[in-house]
Amino acid sequence: MLAATSDDREFNSFTLYADMSEVFAGRSSRPGAKFNFSRNIMILDIEPQEKEDFSLFAGAGVSAGWVQDYGRQGFGVAAALSGSFGANLAFPERHILITVAATLEAGPWIHKDKGEYNMFLYRSGIYQGIYPHISISYLFR
Amino acid sequence: MKRVLSILLLILCCSLVAAQEARRPAFRWGLEWGYGVTAFKYWSVNYLDSSVGYRVWDENHAFQAKSTAFACICVGADVSRKANLSMQLGMMGIDKDREVIPVGIRFNYSFRGTDADGPMAFFGGGLGFPDHFTTAAVHYANIGGGYRIRLSSLWDIDFLATFRLCDDHPPVRDPESGEYVNESNIRKNVTAYCSLALGVAITL
């Protein structure tokens, strides 16, 4: 969910993810769940071309979730600071927004193993930073 | 009267020429990705166990739910007002710990035209090249349908559902030793998968 502020150059994004990284890699059959809040600023807004509106944005935020980590067994709690950079392509007449962005997350991953809690660096948050994610959103206005 | 008839004939000829004017193929490229489930697997394996010198034969099938994903780049052209032919290249998972680089073609038919919202159907196939163990290519064929939303004169978004058949020659692991069987000891190694996938394509 994207929520614009009174200044149209800033917007907040609230995203709930199904963490599929280990599922797509074939190493797990269960996805995790992760929530991200990000405060974003438009750094470039190109004048509307015909029916599409293109802009670049960057933002910072926080992520937290119950996820698996790269190369490790089992689920754990991840809490991380996030940084995003991406592009929005909006089609107001069709009420569709396409976003391509890369998000880097840095923080701990806490995992319980044999009754003990262990804390590791959340590797997936860094490794997945090189893979852009594409999202398709519905514009209510 | 002759002049009137001549004029009428010329007007009719112009209309016919306009109707039959050849459409220049519209070049399109796009990105497609999706998530699927490999629901059925058949395998037939025949190899020589070098440690004891006897032949092992295993043939069976199973219903399963192995998650897979795919992402590919598509490049093609509209061959008519409703049809499109494209080539695909990307990455595709076909089973647990098996991913290939697919190179294929697809024929796409849009019932209301490639430049309009509407349902579509497609079929295609190609080769998938594994990145390890064996150089034998995977063969795949797919069929499916979907719905196109025309975002603008340049951009389209397609929501797709695909049924895929695939044959593979994956690494063979001996169940007793846990080791991979040497390829020179394998006499037959055929595995077939059936999978269902949902995907999204953004085309320009």
B100-147 residue pLDDT tens: 899 999 999 999 998 899 999 999 999 998 866 566 789 999 999 999
User: What is the ipTM score, two decimals?
Assistant: 0.75
Eight-class DSSP state of A46? P
Band the pLDDT of A128: cuts 50, 70, 90. Answer: confident
Task: Write the CA distances from A80 to A29, A46, A74, A120, integer angstroms.
Answer: 24, 32, 18, 12
- Give B79's contacts (C-beta < 8 A, 6+ positions apart): B25, B85
Alpha-helical runs (H) found in A25-77: none
3-state secondary structure of B163: strand
Give contacts of B202 with chain A, Cβ < 8 Å: 98, 134
Q: Are A42 and A59 in contact (CB under 8 A)?
A: no
Q: Are A65 and A32 in contact (CB under 8 A)?
A: yes
**B146-192: per-residue pLDDT in tens?**
999 999 888 999 999 999 999 988 888 877 777 888 888 888 889 99
Q: Give the span between the Cα atoms of B64 and B13, in whole angstroms.
A: 62
pTM of the model as a whole: 0.78
Q: Is B155 on the interface with A (CB under 8 A)?
A: yes
Q: How many Å lie between the alpha carbon of A24 and the closest alpha carbon of chain B? A: 5
Q: Is B102 on the interface with A (CB under 8 A)?
A: no
Give contacts of A52 with chain B, Cβ < 8 Å: 151-152, 154-155
Q: Are B173 and B164 in contact (CB under 8 A)?
A: no
Pairing of β A108-113 and β A116-121: antiparallel
